[in-house]
Chains A and B, each alone.
Chain A
Amino acid sequence: MSVKTLNLRARLPFKDHTIEFNEGISLTGITALFGPSGSGKSTLLRIIAGLENRGNLRLTYDGDIWSDTNAGIFCPPHKRPVGMVFQDDRLFSHLNVAGNLAFADKRSPKVNNPITMEQVVNSLDLLTLLNKFPATLSGGEKQRVALGRTLLTQPKLLLLDEPLSALDIRRKAELLPFLEKIPREFGVPAIFVSHAIDEVARLADEVILLSPDGYVSARGPIPEIFDTQEMHDFTGKFEAGTFLQATVTAQDEKFHITTLDFEGEVLRMPMVSSLNIGDRIRLRIRARDVAVAISRPEGISIRNAVKATISEIKAEDKTAFAEILFTVGTQTLRARITRQAVDELELVEGQEAFALIKSVSFDRRVMISALD
């Protein structure tokens, strides 16, 4: 299937600023529109769905014009081949789950290889819910039904407007795997709006970062986008981190550990059984998960201690923290420790020290991109 492009140029007043957006989006996998609350990302999604038509817009999909303010063209939402999952589930309370699904199914256009009711019920695990009414479902179940209902419209593009934000952590964890697999399983590209970095990191292939003032401040594939200054400006130092390249050297079945070679140092992480020895993979390590020692520590539970050179110490005024940049071979590692610790350990730039890594996060998608 050829990749379609959505072009959106929007200029509209929004709250106390003006949204300025002019991007082409290649519709493949999941693209995240990521930004703080109030940056207008949901409004952009509603513009794509045709639920908003204000300001000056020009929106085209694969050459078809959906909105063009200057030419006076506006394709109403029910004629656009998009499906939208809202923050609130918006299930129809007068219909049961089967009725909600049938509502979409009945009205869907004829397409080749349509997504069937059976596929949707199986993939989203809806069989036991079919006779229930929305009022009796949990938040996660409602969103699963909403997602299924949307798929049955045979959309060419899925719009996900913070579908997780109304859920508590447990429900979120329940729904995430479905959101992760659905666009790929059904071959429907998605645009995903979120202000939660963990959701974006997990779901998105590409990120468009919106600034609080309503313009695009950065854009690119994950993981590259995560270590841009713009991303750090938004997420703060707390989420900042670095990506490391490492090679798989062993799989320890007994302790369920995968061992990696990182610039001659040994790293261990909980076993990822899909990896093979010799695989080059990419790891994301958050600065807050890295501690510093001036000698190789002993009698400590942290297993990953990497000898490294301190290349830079950035003290943050008016906070307790400092950021340490390490050089290991040709790679960079980032640690976030207190300024007091820097002082007491007498850390200086150019010094050799040990970076203690508390947690290594490994992303399936990151491996794929590293293998390309």
Chain B
Amino acid sequence: MADLSPLWLTVQLASTTTFFLLLLGTPLAWWLANTRSKARPVIEALTALPIVLPPTVIGFYFLILLSPTSSIGRFWVEITGETLTFSFTGLVLASMFYSLPFMVQPLQTAFQTIGRAPMEAAATLRASPLNAFFTVAVPMTKRGFLTAIVLSFTHTIGEFGVVLMVGGNIPGETKVISIAIYEHVETLRYAEAHQLAGGLMIFSFIVLMVVYALNRRGAVHVG
């Protein structure tokens, strides 16, 4: 039986990354959907970069950015006593950037689809902007949120290059499932590799199928 700790670590990494991405990506997507600022294309391009860049490029720059010789890395060492590179926290930061477009783009599309009209109506019905966001915009875009959350989660599960560059292969800290599979293959332990790889494939397939099924059912009340 293969060691299941990489699986557990992967779920932790994907959940943490998705949670913080939701907090960061929602306002960013809202801003992108509504702004008339000239900075919009610049921010949109930055957000989409992880789609086109090889994970090794992202990993390489994060390795430099987070290392104790950089200001961010040094600051982190000073306040926590730990390094950001080769740590779970560092992995979360790198994963957030790596999965950013998968959170922002579905949300931005959903916000653009409902447009300003429902928010204007909510305002004339005495709802403050924040209240209108949570009681009108979020429920009207719940399919967008579901898609964004699932894509960010599954995309983070599937990452390899960034983890290898930034996190290395520390059991219980940075050794996620994709790294473990790689290691099993390298050491010719195909049986263990099969267990993890097959499990991941089935898991991903089931999650995606559930999402598509839910999206179809949700379509009934969308006017």
- A residues neighboring B (CB under 8 Å): 49-51, 76-79, 82-84, 86, 88, 90-94, 103-104, 107-109, 133-135, 149-150, 153
B135 partner residues in chain A, CB cutoff 8 A: 103
The interface stretch among B22-30, B101-109, B113-121 is B113-121
Tell me the bound Cα distance from A51 to B117 in angstroms: 10
The interface stretch among B124-132, B164-172, B188-196 is B124-132
The 6 lowest CB-CB distance pairs between A and B, nearest first, are A135-B223, A90-B121, A107-B126, A93-B223, A77-B123, A84-B124
A149, closest chain B residue (CB): B125
In the complex the two chains form, is B222's CB within 8 Å of A135's CB?
yes
Tell me the bound Cα distance from A79 to B142 in angstroms: 28
Tell me the bound Cα distance from A301 to B192 in angstroms: 98
B48 contacts the other chain (Cβ, under 8 Å)? no
B128, closest chain A residue (CB): A78
B139 partner residues in chain A, CB cutoff 8 A: 92, 94
Tell me the bound Cα distance from A78 to B221 in angstroms: 27
A51 partner residues in chain B, CB cutoff 8 A: 120, 123-124
User: Shortest distance in angstroms between A19's beta carbon and chain B's nearest beta carbon?
Assistant: 20
Residue interface mask B192-223, A partner, CB < 8 A = 1: 00000000000000000000000000000111
In the complex the two chains form, is B126's CB within 8 Å of A82's CB?
no
Knowing A86-B121, A88-B117, the reply to whether A93 touches B221 (Cβ < 8 A) is yes
Main secondary structure of the interface of B (DSSP, over half): helix
A86 partner residues in chain B, CB cutoff 8 A: 117, 120-121
B136 contacts the other chain (Cβ, under 8 Å)? yes
User: Shortest distance in angstroms between B169's beta carbon and chain A's nearest beta carbon?
Assistant: 46
Q: A153's contact among B120, B126, B129, B131, by CB below 8 Å, is which?
A: B126
B146 contacts the other chain (Cβ, under 8 Å)? no
B138, closest chain A residue (CB): A94
| Pairs A–B under 8 Å by Cβ, sample size 13 | A76-B128, A78-B124, A78-B127, A78-B128, A84-B124, A86-B120, A90-B121, A91-B223, A93-B222, A93-B223, A103-B135, A107-B126, A150-B125
User: Shortest distance in angstroms between A361's beta carbon and chain B's nearest beta carbon?
Assistant: 35
Q: A92's contact among B120, B128, B140, B142, by CB below 8 Å, is which?
A: B140
A86, closest chain B residue (CB): B121
In the complex the two chains form, is A107's CB within 8 Å of B127's CB?
yes
B121 partner residues in chain A, CB cutoff 8 A: 84, 86, 90, 92
Tell me the bound Cα distance from A249 to B118 in angstroms: 55
A108 partner residues in chain B, CB cutoff 8 A: 126
- B residues neighboring A (CB under 8 Å): 117-118, 120-129, 131-132, 135-136, 139-140, 142, 221-223
Tell me the bound Cα distance from A77 to B121 in angstroms: 10
Tell me the bound Cα distance from A51 to B119 in angstroms: 10
Tell me the bound Cα distance from A44 to B46 in angstroms: 39
Tell me the bound Cα distance from A51 to B124 in angstroms: 9
In the complex the two chains form, is B140's CB within 8 Å of A94's CB?
yes
In the complex the two chains form, is A78's CB within 8 Å of B126's CB?
yes
Knowing A78-B127, A153-B126, the reply to whether A90 touches B136 (Cβ < 8 A) is no
Tell me the bound Cα distance from A88 to B118 in angstroms: 11
In the complex the two chains form, is A109's CB within 8 Å of B126's CB?
yes
In the complex the two chains form, is B223's CB within 8 Å of A107's CB?
no
Tell me the bound Cα distance from A108 to B124 in angstroms: 11
In the complex the two chains form, is B124's CB within 8 Å of A77's CB?
yes
Tell me the bound Cα distance from A109 to B127 in angstroms: 11
B136 partner residues in chain A, CB cutoff 8 A: 92
A134, closest chain B residue (CB): B223
User: Shortest distance in angstroms between B164's beta carbon and chain A's nearest beta carbon?
Assistant: 43
B221 partner residues in chain A, CB cutoff 8 A: 93-94, 133, 135
Tell me the bound Cα distance from A94 to B135 in angstroms: 10
Which of A90, A94, A109, A134 has the most B CB atoms < 10 Å from its CB?
A94
Tell me the bound Cα distance from A320 to B135 in angstroms: 59
In the complex the two chains form, is B126's CB within 8 Å of A92's CB?
no
Knowing A92-B118, A103-B135, A135-B223, the reply to whether A83 touches B140 (Cβ < 8 A) is no
